[in-house]
């Protein structure tokens, strides 16, 4: 029964987390691509930590929303993550890049990943981190 309650609670938090990612997206700094992304992490304690992408003229220095949220949470001492939502204005939503997938595999390996288009927040695609990066690098 405890497992069912946990799943039910997570289902209720899904739309909340997606909405938090959509709000975070508004803070994106994307002067070059104009492609704004927001992310929201749900911790095991129930906290939500958000982030948005920040671009650089040197694209390699750009930081994705998922990494901003993850780094913020980690530097606040959070270590247990339940889910992450990513929202962008793109049909079907934007999938995490390879670097974000690797970091999620390292720091949030059991998290559920929810992806949504900013224009259709109710249409949420769901993945596991393992689905996104089955052969993650391990040290």
* Residues acting as catalytic residues: 66
How many other CB atoms are there within 10 angstroms of residue 15's CB atom? 15
CA–CA gap between residue 28 and residue 34 (Å, rounded) = 9
Strands of 81-88's sheet, edge to edge? 48-52, 37-43, 81-88, 112-117, 120-128
Contact in structure between 104 and 134 (CB atoms under 8 Å): no
By CB neighbour count within 10 A (0-12 exposed, 13-18 middle, 19+ buried), where does 45 fall? exposed
């Amino acid at each position: 029964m405890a497992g069912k309650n946990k799943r039910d609670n997570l289902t209720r938090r899904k739309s909340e987390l997606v909405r938090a990612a959509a709000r975070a997206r508004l803070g994106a700094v994307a002067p070059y691509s104009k492609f704004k992304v927001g992310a929201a992490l749900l911790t095991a304690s129930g906290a939500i930590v958000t982030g948005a992408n920040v671009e650089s003229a040197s694209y390699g220095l750009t930081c994705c929303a998922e990494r901003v949220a993850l780094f913020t949470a980690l530097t606040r001492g959070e270590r247990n993550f339940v889910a992450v939502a990513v929202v962008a204005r793109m049909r079907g939503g934007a999938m995490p890049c390879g670097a974000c997938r690797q970091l999620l595999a390292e720091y949030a390996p059991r998290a559920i990943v929810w992806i949504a288009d900013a224009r259709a927040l109710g249409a949420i695609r769901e993945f596991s981190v393992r689905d996104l990066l089955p052969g993650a690098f391990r040290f």
